[in-house]
A = this chain, B = another copy of it.
Amino acid sequence: MSSVDEIVLPAPADFHVHVRQGPMCDLVVPHVSQGGIRTAYVMPNLIPPLTTTDAVIEYRNHLQNLDPKTQWLMTLYLHPDVTPDEIRKASKAGISGVKSYPRGVTTNSSSGIEDYTVYYPVFRAMEEEGMVLNLHGEVPSDPDQNISILNAEKHFLTHLRKLAHNFPKLRIVLEHATTSEAISTVLELPSNVACTITAHHLYLTIDTVAPQPHHFCKPLAKEPKDRKALQEAIKSGNPKFFLGSDSAPHPTTSKAPGLVEGGEPSPCAAGVYTSPILVPLVATLLESFGALERLEGYVSSHGRRFYNVPPERGQELKLKRVKGQKVPSILRGEGTEVVPFWAGKDLDWEIVE
């Protein structure tokens, strides 16, 4: 088979991205389009979390100011402040979805949910308004029940099944799936349930996460068989699976254990930062496991179809094959810096400007 050397993709979209606040936001917002993304679906876990329409719109305006070329799709943070009325208001304001964080499982999730049934009226309003429910699919750890970050996603699947059953018209996305069990559950559920897969979970396993804080994220990358299941989901071409990078920058200081005189060393923050290299990275990874022909579906058409956000004309992205395009070891901004995923490694594809 002769290998392809150039690929044109209809407007790539990242259906799960963190662009933060303050100096980090200034640094990373331009990276989204640099990584080849035209439409970015933005997570609401700021400090404080974005629990009102007004706060989300203010944030969207800020992002649009920083980068007017990128289409910013916005989400609310599921929280007691989010009422059915707030949902209708959010929908009118063009907010696309609501993100649910189980309490305490990842960055800035201390305001997360504990029980879904109290939100059923909210979900009903979302169903009516056509808003999407984005689920961080992990239950909180509980040593007494042997629930840890290794099986937190498996334990969440019961909740996913129940929500899918109770809200058959609500579009639900299981975000950043990491286990073979998650993939098979999404496959068995109806078409209102989709699933994002990150770029880094197509590459990492527990072996490469444990010694490297820059690879530490939630959900944790799991076993080789799980990575294989994610790769196979993409290889299958099933439109339920699409790109949500969960690109989540943290300053380098938050990625090293912080020495606290007289105290415990602070832990490392959870998150892998892929935005600046996203589409070339995805092309490189998909080719490595024989799925390059699924690139368009994974980075563009599947997600766009699920979200009803068709690609605009003139927003195509052209990639060309390249020999050893090295990822920078660090990206520096005003008062902050971040180490990108694959720092120092070679990409096989680059964006043609």
- Residues of A participating in the B interface, judged by any CB pair closer than 8 Å: 141, 143-144, 146-151, 205-207, 209-214, 216, 220, 222-225, 227, 252, 255-257, 259-265, 267-270, 326, 329-330, 339, 343-345
Contacts and interface: CB of A to CB of B under 8 A. Distances in A.
Contacts of A213: 211, 213, 256-257, 268
A329 B265 contact: yes
Given A150-B206, A211-B268, A213-B257, 9 more contacts: A148-B206, A150-B223, A210-B220, A211-B267, A252-B259, A256-B257, A263-B343, A264-B343, A265-B339
A214 B339 contact: no
A327 B339 CA distance: 32
Contact of A216 (B141, B211, B255): B211
A109 to B, nearest CB: 14
Chain A interface helix/strand/loop/mixed = loop
Interface centre among A210, A252, A343, A345 (most CB of B within 10 A): A210
A339 B257 CA distance: 10
Contacts of A211: 213, 216, 267-270
A223 B141 CA distance: 11
Nearest to A337: B259
Contacts of A343: 263-265
5 contacts: A143-B227, A148-B223, A149-B207, A211-B216, A256-B257
B257 A148 contact: no
Contacts of A149: 206-207, 210
Contacts of A220: 206, 210
Contact of A148 (B141, B205, B214, B252): B205
Q: Say how many copies of this protein the assembly contains.
A: 2
A210 B214 contact: no
A265 B212 contact: yes
A212 B257 contact: yes
A225 B146 contact: yes
A20 to B, nearest CB: 19
A326 B263 CA distance: 9
Given A148-B205, A148-B206, A259 B329 contact: yes
Contacts of A252: 259
Contact of A210 (B144, B207, B210, B259): B210
Given A267-B212, A268-B211, A330 B223 contact: no
Contacts of A216: 210-211
A150 to B, nearest CB: 5
Given A143-B224, A223-B151, A259-B330, A344 B265 contact: yes
